[in-house]
Amino acid sequence: MITLRPAADRGHADHGWLNSWHSFSFAEYQDPEHVRFGTLRVLNDDTVAAKGGFAPHPHRDMEIISYVLSGGLQHKDSMGTGSVIRRGDVQRMSAGTGVVHSEFNASDKEPVHFLQIWIFPERSGLQPGYEQVSVPDSEKRGRLRVIAARNGGDNVVTVHQDVVIAAGLFDGDEQETRALQTGRQYYLHVADGAITVNGQRLQAGDALKLIEEKQLRLEQGQAAEVLLFDLAA
C-alpha cells in the first residue's frame, strides 16, 4: 500500500523568523491522522531567517537529528557540545534523561534551511549524547546513502532505535531500484526538487508512506533530494 502525503496538507507555521512545515502533529498543529509514522515522531522542514533561532529549551527521551539543506545552523547544548552544521552535515542528539539546547542561524545575512527529525528511542532514560558526521553530495549522488542507523557505521550517526535513514540526490538519468523488506514500513520525503517514485510524480515537501510494498524505484529526478526512513512495522 502506498499513501501520498501532499506537501500542502502538512501543518504550517510562519513566525517571521521561522517558516516551518510539519509532517506530523507539532506545537499548534494537531492532526489525529498524522501524529507519527511508526517511531518517526517529527519531521519539520524549517527555514530560519538571518540572526533568528531557537532559544535554549529542554528535551528528553528523544533521538533528534538535524539535516541541513542550505546555510549554517549553530548548535549549543548543556552537555558542553556545539558546532555550526552546514549542508551535508548530519547531527544526532540523544536527549535521554534530559538536555537543554539552542539552535540559531549562524549567518546574519542568509537563511538556514534544515530538516528537524525526531525518533522515539528504544527505551527511556538513555545517557544524553551527541554525534555529528559530514556526508558529501558525491556520496549521495544517484543513490540512497545511509546517514543514520542503529549500529552507526562509517560516517553514519548512531540512532538508539531500529531505524535506518538514507539520503539521496537524483537528477536526469540517475535512478535507483531497491527491494523493500517484509515486516518493515517506509516513509519517503522529498526535501527538494522533483522526482518520480514508484510511478508517482512528487514535488518538494511531498511524501509517500509505503507499507507491504516489495520495491522502491526512484527516477526522473530534477535536482531532487530525498530522505528514506526504514522503520520497524
Provide the strand spans (E) within the chain.
Answer: 2-5, 11-14, 18-22, 40-48, 53-59, 63-70, 72-77, 82-86, 89-94, 99-105, 112-119, 129-134, 144-149, 157-158, 163-170, 176-179, 184-197, 200-203, 207-211, 215-232
Question: Which are the contacts of 30, defined by CB distance < 8 A and separation ≥ 6?
Answer: none
Q: What is the C-alpha separation between 40 and 122, in angstroms, rounded?
A: 12
Average of pLDDT values for 99-111? 91
Task: Give residue 57's pLDDT.
Answer: 87
Q: What residues are paired with 70 via a beta bridge?
A: 113
Q: Strand pairing of 82-86 and 72-77?
A: antiparallel
Distance from chain centroid for Cα 197: 18
The string of pLDDT tens digits covering residues 41-50 is 999 999 999 9
Task: Give residue 185's pLDDT.
Answer: 97
Q: What is the C-alpha separation between 119 and 67, in angstroms, rounded?
A: 14
Q: What residues are paired with 122 via a beta bridge?
A: none
Q: What residues are paired with 179 via a beta bridge?
A: 215
CATH class of 2-232: mainly beta
Say if CB 159 and CB 202 are below 8 A apart.
no
Band the pLDDT of 104: cuts 50, 70, 90.
confident
Band the pLDDT of 79: cuts 50, 70, 90.
confident
Average of pLDDT values for 112-128? 97
Q: What residues are paired with 42 via a beta bridge?
A: 118
In this predicted structure, the answer to whether residue 95 has a pLDDT above a threshold of 90 is yes
Task: Give residue 227's pLDDT.
Answer: 98
Task: Give residue 21's pLDDT.
Answer: 98
Average of pLDDT values for 125-145? 96
Q: What is the C-alpha separation between 40 and 38, in angstroms, rounded?
A: 5
Q: How many C-beta atoms surround the C-beta of residue 2 within 10 A?
A: 16
Say if CB 100 and CB 138 are below 8 A apart.
no
